[in-house]
Structures are given as C-alpha cells and as structure tokens.
Amino acid sequence: MPLIIHTIPAFQDNYLWLFHLSGERAAFVVDPGDALPVLKCLEQHDLELAGILITHHHPDHTGGIKALLTQYDVPVYGPDSANIPQITQQLGEGDNITLAGTNFSVLEIPGHTLDHIAYHAAPNGGNPLVFCGDTLFSAGCGRLFEGSPQQMYQSLQKLAALPDATQIYCAHEYTLSNLAFATAVEPDSQALKEKIVADTQKREQGLPTIPTTLGIERETNPFLRCHLPPVAQAATQHGARQLQSPIEVLQEIRLWKDNF
C-alpha cells in the first residue's frame, strides 16, 4: 500500500505534513506548529492521529503539540532537546522508527538549530523522501540561528548524499524568494530559469512548490553548490575577499541571503 502525504498549510507560509498508509486510518503529523489545521485534516480524511514527529524546537513546529495531546494520547518523536519537553521518544543519528508501515532513519542535521533532525524513508513502491524541517528548502537553506556554517555545510552534504529522486518535504513556502536569490548568485543558470517558470505557475494556481526533489536542488540550490566555481566566484565577488573552502562560500552566501 502506498504512503499518502497530505499538505497542511499553516500560518503565513508553513507546511505541516500528515502521512498514513493508503486504506489505513492511523496517521502521523510532522511539525504541528498549529493543532487546528491538523485536526481539520484528520476529520476531513477520517483519520486518527497515531503519532507526532518533530524536527526542531521552534514554536512554528511545536506549538500545536500540547493541544493535540489533549485529544490524542500518542507518542511524540523528536530530538534530544530540553526545549521540547513533550517528546516521549528521543531520536538521534542512525536511529530507526517504523510508522505507517514505513521505516524512517534519523539524520542529525544541525545548523538552523543545534537540535535539528530529519526523517528519511524509502517507502514500498514510492520515491524516497525526507522530512527536513528548516534545514534544506527549495532553492535555499535555513538561517543559522544556533549552528555554525561548518555544521550547516555538513548537514546539507548529508542530505545531498541521498538519491536524486528523494522528495524534499521542507516546512516553508519560500521557493520564489529563494529562487530570486539563487538567480543573483547564478544569473546564467538555465535550470533556475526553468524552475522559476514552473514554480511561479504553481503559486499562481494556489499550489505548493513542495515537495521538490534532491536532483532538482542539486541543479538550482546555491547552498548545495558551494563547491562549484560559479557559486564560489559569486560569493568571492560579493564578499570582496578570497574564500578558501566551500564552507566559507556557504557562510558568505548565507550572509548575503540574510540581507537580500
């Protein structure tokens, strides 16, 4: 049976993800920053909440946990973090959990926060996927609120090692603004021009641009391309100094993006 994933918009630009096996009612939600749209989705599709998955401690990813637990006595999976007291099963690098008939492996991906993890799976009969929170976005990456450029670079490299077909389920609709920045970094990229057309059409139709795929991100996401000459050259020019490594390139383009 295939894994069904529902997109739940929340706040201004968040996406919450609810998944279950086709034909089964037990459903699991990823990063419920708000309980109300989750409860509405469960009711709409006649599903029962069976568990909660958390990637990191920011309120727009955790704010709905308490309200959901008042209605459903379910496990809460997430990082070993003092900032998320509701977690009942702490997870770290290499841990595995089986939910909705699907084995998820846990990746530690600090940078945006120090407690950030991702959930990677290869469902039966479907493309591999990863719920990666705010570390990797379509054409972008998360701000470095707690971690270092080196941590973010290593975390992105860990995600970049997944198969090209991996579906990237990130937590925000930042794609068009990220693509505008990516174009400033690589103005001659044909892949970026094509992605801007495709994703602009989706947004004009009220459709999400997520999930993207890792293969597409390798071609269009500057934060996965810090080792390549065009990105390194653009970062060097912007910073007006010689950059010695892909980590320094990432640091420069992240600062550039912060003020873009």
Q: Supply the residues annotated as catalytic.
A: 56, 58, 60-61, 112, 134, 172
The 8-class DSSP code of residue 2 comes to P
Q: Which residue in this structure is represented by tokens 């609810």?
A: 18
Handedness of CA 85, 90, 93, 98 (dihedral sign): negative
Query: Cα 227 from chain centroid?
Result: 21
For 124, the token pair is: 């039966």
CB 144 within 8 A of CB 102: no
For residue 123, the number of C-alpha atoms closer than 13 Å in the C-beta half-sphere is: 21
Q: Which residue in this structure is represented by tokens 């920053």?
A: 33
Sheet holding 117-121, edge to edge: 96-99, 102-108, 117-121, 129-133, 167-170, 212-213
For 64, the token pair is: 């709905």
Q: What is the largest CA-CA distance in the chain?
A: 57
Q: Which residues contact 132 (CB under 8 A, 6 or more apart)?
A: 55, 109, 118, 159, 168, 169, 170
